[in-house]
Amino acid sequence: MRALIAGNWKMNGLRESLAEVAAVAAAAPGIAADLLLCLPATLLPLAPRELPLGAQDCHANASGAHTGDLSAEMLADAGASHIIVGHSERRCDHHETDAAVRAKAAAAHRAALTAIICVGETLAQRDANETLAVVTSQLAGSVPDGATPANTAIAYEPVWAIGTGRTPTPDQVAQVHAAIHDALQTRFGATFRILYGGSVKPDNAATLLALPHVHGALVGGASLKAADFLAIARAA
Ligand code: PEP
The alpha carbon of 64 and the centre of ligand 1 are apart by a number of angstroms equal to 31
- Residue 214, CB half-sphere, CA atoms under 13 Å: how many? 25
Give residue 139's pLDDT: 98
Residue nearest to atom 5 of ligand 1 (CA): 198
d(CA 91, CA 194): 19
The alpha carbon of 67 and the centre of ligand 1 are apart by a number of angstroms equal to 28
Q: How far is CA 100 from the centre of its chain?
A: 17
Q: How far is CA 134 from the centre of its chain?
A: 18
121: annotated active-site residue: no
Give residue 65's pLDDT: 98
pLDDT under 50 in the chain at which residues?
Answer: none
Q: What is the CATH number of domain 4-234?
A: 3.20.20.70
Give residue 202's pLDDT: 98
Residues 157 and 83 sit within 8 Å (Cβ to Cβ): no
Which atom of ligand 1 approaches the CA of 164 most closely?
10
**Per-residue pLDDT tens for 145-193?**
999 999 999 999 999 999 999 999 999 999 999 999 999 999 999 999 9
Residue 22: count of CB within 10 angstroms of its CB: 15
With a 6 Å cutoff on the Cβ, whether 56 touches ligand 1 is no
Give residue 196's pLDDT: 98
Residue nearest to atom 7 of ligand 1 (CA): 220
Domain residue ranges in the chain: 4-234
ipTM > 0.90 for the complex:
yes
